[in-house]
Amino acid sequence: MFKDEFRRVLVADSRRIIAEALTFAIESDPRLEAVGYALDGWDALELVSSFEPDVVVVGPSLNGLDQLQFTSLVREFFPEVLPILICARGDRVAAYDAGATSCLAESCSADELLRAVTAATLERDIPLRLVEAHA
């Protein structure tokens, strides 16, 4: 079997209304489990360590650490966690350079977010599933 049948997702954004809205959108998909949200980059790192999510969705506003600093630290210390950033169009190259798995526009829909989360975890899990199938 695989790690989990549903994916664990953490949300990070300094604006509570955005963090709660993103969490609500994630919880609307039965394949996903929202494990919580953080309003500060340092708190988000602690939650990544505690909850071991598959994905962390990082909103465009983050206190303590900005999106890029947070993403770099996640990739360095938690390489199995997939950061998906919501950012301005001009920030996408920097987001990918920092280690973002995916970068969504601030105008993205909830459906686009859910597809990005699902796609990222499926792409990560395909090699694992092939190895397990041949074991």
Contact 120, 101 (CB under 8 A): yes
| Angstrom distance (rounded) from CA 29 to CA 78 | 25
Question: Residue 60 pLDDT more than 80?
Answer: yes
Structure confidence at residue 99 (pLDDT):
94
**Can you name the residues that pair with 104 across neighbouring β-strands?**
86
66's CB contacts (< 8 A; 6+ apart) are: 41
CA distance 116 to 25: 13
How much is the pLDDT for 19?
96
Rounded Cα distance between 13 and 36, Å, is 11
Domains, in order of start, for the chain: 7-133 (3.40.50.2300)
Predicted local confidence at residue 2, as pLDDT: 43
Q: Rounded to whole angstroms, how far apart are CA atoms 68 and 123?
A: 22
pLDDT at 1: 29
- Kindly report, residue by residue over 71-116, the tens digit of the pLDDT: 999 999 999 999 999 997 778 889 999 999 999 999 999 999 999 9
What average pLDDT does this structure show over 66-73?
94
- The phi-psi region of residue 65 (left if phi > 0; otherwise alpha if psi is between -120 and 50; otherwise beta) is beta
With a cut of 70, say whether residue 6 has pLDDT above it.
yes
